[in-house]
Amino acid sequence: MKIISSIEELRDQLSGQLRTAFVPTMGNLHEGHLSLMRLARRHGDPVVASIFVNRLQFGPGEDFEKYPRTFQADVEKLEKEGVYVLFAPTEKDLYPEPQEFRVRPPDDLGNTLEGEFRPGFFTGVTTVVLKLFSCVQPRVAVFGKKDYQQLMIIRNMSRQFALPTEIIAAETYRADDGLALSSRNMYLSPAERAEAPSLYQGLNVVADAVRAGNLDVADLERAAMQQLAQKGWNPDYISVRKRIDLQAPSADELARGTPLVVLAAAKLGQTRLIDNLEI
């Protein structure tokens, strides 16, 4: 595996490659990330991964400085997966001058759910992803469904800018007890780790109720949030939305069986976890 930090060297290395499959990450890789590499290989060759902790998507008081960085361990994992190139730019490599041009998602998608609680987050995400796409020029790129809203925003951005990159969605990779794998799980204390699957369990309660015909989603959302709060969580949202655009479904859309997804974000101690479940 070649480890490259400069954009110019990366482009030279990938020159002439027409089937590149790309997996962007912020490092601290776990089995969920590695499953994305395997999916990428099924859709293209060579596989290129990136590791870059993107300052633009962290708000004031968030964990940019303490975000776990495990570069050497990450390299060993990617080598075992047969990744061809690891693009690992420094901030100076990727942002040699202040990144004054930004990509801002539309308000109805970018300012709801995660966007409401993390203002500017998706502008940081879309800006760095567009820049990484420009550097790697992949035919396909793989993103996990755990970050459901992010996946939708990137897919819409790619379509609206007519980018020659197909966005592939990977199913959420879970531990045996249902907890979605996340780099931030390492922040959890042993007691918090034992409690953490309650988030996914709450999503299942809501989804099962909707499937059983309970269409009072506002009441289901409130009950699920109260249940988490009683267990010591600080929930930001549990929300049933339409899969197509992440807007709240109307009563008529619920009655028609419009495809839905229930999304959640909540803090357990100092660790903020997100998850979702398609209904």
Active-site residue, selected from the candidate residues 25, 33, 56, 103 = 33
Cα R_g (the chain), whole angstroms: 19
Q: Which residues of 78-114 are buried (b: 16+ CB within 10 A; e: fewer)?
A: beebebbbbbbbeeebbbeeebeeebebeeebbebbb
For tokens 């061809």, the residue is 84
Active-site residue, 43 included: no
User: What CA–CA distance (Å, rounded) separates 276 from 171?
Assistant: 11
Q: DSSP state, 184?
A: G
Using alpha carbons, select from 144, 106, 141, 100 the residue that is nearest to residue 122.
106
With a CB cutoff of 8 Å and minimum separation 6, the contacts of 277 are 200, 203, 204, 206, 207, 261, 262
Q: How far apart are the first and last CA of the chain?
A: 40
CA dihedral angle for residue 63, residue 151, residue 241, residue 212, rounded to 10 degrees: -110
User: What CA–CA distance (Å, rounded) separates 115 from 109?
Assistant: 8
Using alpha carbons, select from 48, 19, 24 the residue that is nearest to residue 150.
24
CB-count exposure of residue 162 (10 Å: 0-12, 13-18, 19+): exposed
User: What CA–CA distance (Å, rounded) separates 150 from 137?
Assistant: 20
The tokens describing 201, both together, are 């369990």
For the annotated catalytic residues, the residue numbers are 33
